Chains A and B, each alone.
Chain A
């Protein structure tokens, strides 16, 4: 059996869990290509024009897999539905609906997994249900899930540790924290060109989505320093990251995809609360995903940081 996974949005939020789960069951995974202008164009064509850029790209990836499906013999395309977690924690409503949207837009076999704690569908249960749908035995599914979960833990620890080391050993140039959803900042077409550009300028770039709270539950409430009533899981994680890194950073870049419903509120509040650190709020839309305007802004932002850093040195 072969399962296609669109390399966008939810896949970045769960970078290894789904992949390892399928691997442990002996199911082959076919990924969509890295985001490119063709995928973006297809995504735009298949989406409602007001949908957010990230979700348009998602549809582009799904279409990319469908085009590949004959050649690669893909049986299902896997589109998880993420909804609610403990307490009032939830995610962007786009994650609620992606499966149903794809089902209505494309004619293909889709398979889903539904994490919705309010409806008593926790992660374990949702994976067991997925196993059932794939006609795989209970024990085998359970074992595959457990193994994937252990791997996820190790993976998270590894990336957090390596980021910490990188911070310790970072050069004397400005440290920049990127506050952005992983599906934006790690995307080949959206965030990658930006981070590469910054690194070429000499900056040390760090990512707020990789932080202590993903390996240790004790850090999970740090976001409250910035926002008390926040209830979006993925935004909470970003704020936890700001708290982790803030003391060592020279500047912050808020990077979001237009018109991200969560970011517009959370970023507004965070910028207002963190008013002593230079920051820049960059909004990516389908027009200037690779436009020159952004690079000019980044460059001048970087100049400010460098200038401030050298002055600080002189003063001390």
Chain B
């Protein structure tokens, strides 16, 4: 398909599998006769290279990944870019990225969904209206809410898979179902169809045979806490979750898009209450979550905690001294990973394996006592 036919080519940065609800949203509100939606190239070493070369040196890593996605999309013909924005430094990314990309000579329309005050639906609608003059406000809001529904379902599905992956008896079943589920979600049209998919796939999901409770005892359980981008975008954390699952470790993770968009605000007081022995005030961004969720994981009897963040993430650095204290108080191993733009996976895997061995020995020791 040639780009000359399309007036607009719309693109956005990657974040895990969330390109699916985003694609679904854009596909429904934009006019396909004039607009093409370009899913950015899958994260790769070239994304890293472009991002690194064109970002400030010591900015936090998600900025660089976003830049890499944008440049690759622009090179593939995109002329409308969408950035989500959000809290902490994410809210300020947009202005700097736009300036850098324009200085590089690219010409494009830049859309920012959230600013630091939250989302202004009317403002966002007005921008999309320019791309598709036929768009109606009520339909736009409907599609937006529907997209949240898809997002929610996607998170539910992936959380179930994550929680039960290591208990799987016939290897590969979860993966297969996951892929076909993603394909279905991408083009889901309305509520009715979504409900059918939900029923169908969750039935299939629950039908996958799992190990009995008795055989689960020896499995090591690890919780992942930390910054949102590295939690949700597997490439940026060198597929840490997948590595753990491959080792046969049960993984729990709290951060999902559903949590951030819909639950975070209501949870805040609760989190502070849970962790009031250690912190009095919010630590900024997801720092409070890291502390409160670590305490929760300890309560639930997890064997170890993995704290992940991109380089330069201040809120998570704030949380680290507190986590260190918790680690001492409860005698629970916590390992800290900082992900930068380095391209070697080996260093991460080695540390992860050592952590796993340590947890295993600790568990065996405790069992023998």
Which residues in A have some Cβ–Cβ distance to B below 8 Å?
Answer: 47-48, 50-52, 81, 83, 87-88, 90, 92-94, 96-97, 99-101, 103-105, 112, 114, 116, 227-232, 258-259, 261-262, 264-265, 267-269, 272-273, 283
Contacts and interface: CB of A to CB of B under 8 A. Distances in A.
B303 to A, nearest CB: 23
A261 B60 contact: yes
Contacts of B57: 264
Closest 9 CB pairs of A and B: A93-B284, A97-B318, A259-B58, A268-B56, A96-B284, A88-B116, A100-B279, A97-B283, A48-B320
Given A104-B325, A259-B58, A269-B99, A81 B91 contact: no
Interface in B278-305: 278-285, 287
Contact of A100 (B283, B285, B311): B283
Contact of B115 (A52, A97, A104, A229): A229
Given A229-B95, A230-B92, A272-B103, A96 B283 contact: yes
B367 to A, nearest CB: 32
Nearest to B285: A93
Given A93-B287, A228-B95, A272-B100, A100 B278 contact: yes
Contacts of B324: 48, 104
Nearest to A230: B92
B317 interface: yes
B322 interface: yes
B17 to A, nearest CB: 28
Contacts, number: 120
B185 to A, nearest CB: 33
Interface string B250-283: 0000000000000000000000000000111111
Contacts of B27: none
A100 B281 contact: yes
A262 B311 CA distance: 14
B117 interface: yes
B21 interface: no
A230 B89 CA distance: 10
A43 B94 CA distance: 34
Given A50-B317, A51-B317, 7 more contacts: A47-B321, A100-B322, A112-B280, A229-B91, A229-B95, A262-B89, A268-B100
B315 interface: yes
Contacts of A88: 115-117
Contacts of A114: 281
A104 B281 contact: no
Contacts of B278: 100, 104
B281 A258 contact: no
A93 B95 CA distance: 20
B287 A97 contact: yes
A97 B284 contact: yes
B159 interface: no
Contacts of A100: 278-281, 283, 318, 322
A272 B95 CA distance: 12
B325 A93 contact: no
B349 interface: no
Contacts of B58: 258-259, 264, 283
B99 A272 contact: yes
